[in-house]
A and B are shown apart, each in its own frame.
Chain A
Amino acid sequence: MVRAVGGSGTIQMWSALEKMPAPATTYERIVYKNPSEHHYMKVRLEFQDRGVGLNAAQFKQLLISALKDLFGEVDAALPLDILTYEEKTLSAILRICSSGLVKLWSSLTLLGSYKGKKCAFRVIQVSPFLLALSGNSRELVLD
Chain B
Amino acid sequence: MDAIMEGPKNNIISVLTDPEGRTLGTTFDLPQDAGPKELHALVNAVLQNEETIPYAFYVEDRELLEPLGSHLLKHKVSVEQVLRIVCQPQAVFRIRPVTRCSATISGHTEAILSVAFSPDSKQLASGSGDTSVRFWDINTQTPLQTEVVHKNWVLCLAWSPDGKYLVTGSKDGEIILWDPSSCKPVGPALKGHKKWITALVWEPAHLETPCRRFASSSKDGDVRIWDAVLRKTVTILTGHTLAVTCVKWGGDGLIYSSSQDCTIKVWETSQGKLVRELKGHGHWVNTLALSTEYVLRTGPFDHTEKTFKSAEEMKQAALARYKAAKRDSPERLVSGSDDFTMILWEPAVGKHAKARMTGHQQLVNHVYFSPDGRWVASGSFDKSVKLWDGFTGNFIATFRGHVGPVYQISWSADSRLLLSGSKDSTMKIWEIRTLKLKEDLPGHADEVFTVDWSPDGRKVASGGKDRQLKLWMS
Q: Report if A and B associate in a common complex.
A: no
A residues sitting closer than 8 Å to B (CB atoms) are none
